[in-house]
Amino acid sequence: MAEFPFLIWAREGAARTGVIATPRGDIHTPAFMPVGTAGTVKALYLDQVRSAGADIILGNTYHLMLRPGAERVKRLGGLHQFMRWPYPILTDSGGFQVFSLASLRKMSEEGVSFQSHIDGSRHSLTPERSIEIQADLLGADISMQLDECVGNPCERAEAEAAMQLSARWGARSRAAFGAREAQALFGIVQGSTYPDLRKESVDRLLEIGFDGYAIGGLAVGEGHQAMLETIEATTPLLPEHRPRYLMGVGKPLDLLQAVARGVDMFDCVLPTRSGRHGQAWTWDGPVSIKNARFAEDPEPLDARSSCPASSQYSKAYLHHLFKAGEHLGAMLLSWHNVAFFEALMAQMREAIEAGEFEAMRRELSARWSSQASAVSAEA
């Protein structure tokens, strides 16, 4: 297996901060990975993503294998060169997107065959093909095993079958990946919200052995409290010396609470998706810049931020851009949101080192909860 040293610098309770040292650069944890689905973080230049504080981004196997094609990306120098991002890239396995196709897919022990949402062409994805695409063709620094993700609510029998299949696919992914010095492979814990299934999944993955361990199958409808309970039941089972990655999560409050439970890495489309729809994430909670109250607001979203989108444009101007249908509005708000998420992670890292994380968690949780209540009352 690759030796990506994971050095833990400080702890406070279950929260921890440190660095994953990779050949393409250090990943400071807790880390948030902006999602670059099709070789781009939507509406942003990658130098903006980097300047916002991102050490690593996520690429999507499903979308890249369909368009422009993984073999083409390989011929053009690999994903790093293709998209002009020389820093670490983690790729998902493609499983979540394939399994969300529902009627367009067909499952088997061997893998999954599916119909492209783009042109209807047929494709297949096996654990071995997923590893080939991620590690050999795209050249990801961190690849993910192929797994089966189930939604919620989920009957126990379905959750157990998916967990067992994911474990078998994990072993095949590990075998296909082999020994690599400059690339890593993460396993994925499944089991829905059933603690005993999560434990069995962890046990199976530890027998196989991975460079890091992801918690999958959450943020699929189980609700905030059930998600936190599942994380809390799972992270203590995972190796201390390996990174822990919570897949597809989430809102700032989710990140804060998951870090308190020992999670090191996150990804989510929320910052850019919200930005494209006029929602800005702030230290006082989310705001809709389309709201009429911002039409003559001369203040920026965050005067203290080092991000120009946050500190150099008035809310009135951003409001105008969205009302006028100008693309610049989505670009600026996406940039602001990514910068906010990265600033939140940086502040969590600093707080853990200073022994002040729990105070930060309590203060922000109370602020965001009261803001949410005020919005609900207003509505």
Check pLDDT > 70 for residue 42: yes
d(CA 192, CA 189): 9
pLDDT of residue 228: 98
Residue 13, pLDDT score: 98
Nearest 5°: the CA angle 69, 142, 83 is 45
153 DSSP β-pair partners: none
| pLDDT greater than 70 at residue 372 | no
Which residue among 92, 136, 147, 211 is the active-site one? 92
Helices first, then strands: H and E counts in the chain:
15, 16
Confidence grade of residue 2 (pLDDT, cut at 50, 70, 90): low
Reading the block at residue 309, the tokens are: 């989108």
Instruction: Give the dihedral sign, CA 215/217/220/224.
Output: negative
Marked catalytic residue, from 55, 147, 264, 267 = 267
Q: Residue 371: what pLDDT?
A: 73
Q: Tokens 């500190």 — which residue?
A: 311
pLDDT value at 370 more than 80? no
What's the pLDDT at 379?
A: 40
Quick check: 376 pLDDT over 70?
no
* Catalytic site includes residue 55: no
Active-site residue 297, yes or no?
no
The residue with greater pLDDT, 103 or 25, is 25
pLDDT at 350 over 50: yes
Strands 279-282 and 285-288, bridge-based pairing: antiparallel
Q: What average pLDDT does the segment 365-373 reach? A: 82
**Assigned token pair, 256:** 């804060």
Q: What is the pLDDT of residues 217-243, one digit of tens each?
A: 999 999 999 999 999 999 999 999 999
When pLDDT is cut at 50, 70 and 90, the band that residue 375 belongs to is low
Kindly tell me if the per-residue pLDDT of 374 is higher than 70.
no
- What b-and-e string marks burial along 362-371, b requiring 16 or more CB atoms within 10 Å of the CB? eebeeebeeb
pLDDT band per the 50, 70, 90 thresholds, residue 290: very high
Q: Say whether pLDDT at 327 is over 70.
A: yes
Beta bridge partners of 7: 19
Q: Provide mean pLDDT across the span 268-292.
A: 98
In one letter, which amino acid is 39? G
- Coil vs helix vs strand at 15: strand
> For helices 252-259 and 327-354, what crossing angle results, to 10°?
20
37: buried, middle or exposed (CB in 10 Å: 19+, 13-18, 0-12)? middle
Amino acid at 336: H
pLDDT, mean of residues 247-272:
97
At 273 the pLDDT is 98
pLDDT at residue 73 is higher than 80 = yes
Locate the DSSP E strands across the chain: 6-12, 15-22, 25-29, 31-36, 57-60, 89-92, 105-107, 112-115, 122-125, 142-144, 184-189, 212-215, 244-246, 265-268, 279-282, 285-288
Structural domains for the chain: 6-268 (3.20.20.105), 275-378 (no CATH)
Q: Mean pLDDT, the chain, as a whole number? A: 95
pLDDT above 90 coverage of the chain, percent = 89
Beta bridge partners of 25: 22
For residue 187, which amino acid is it? G
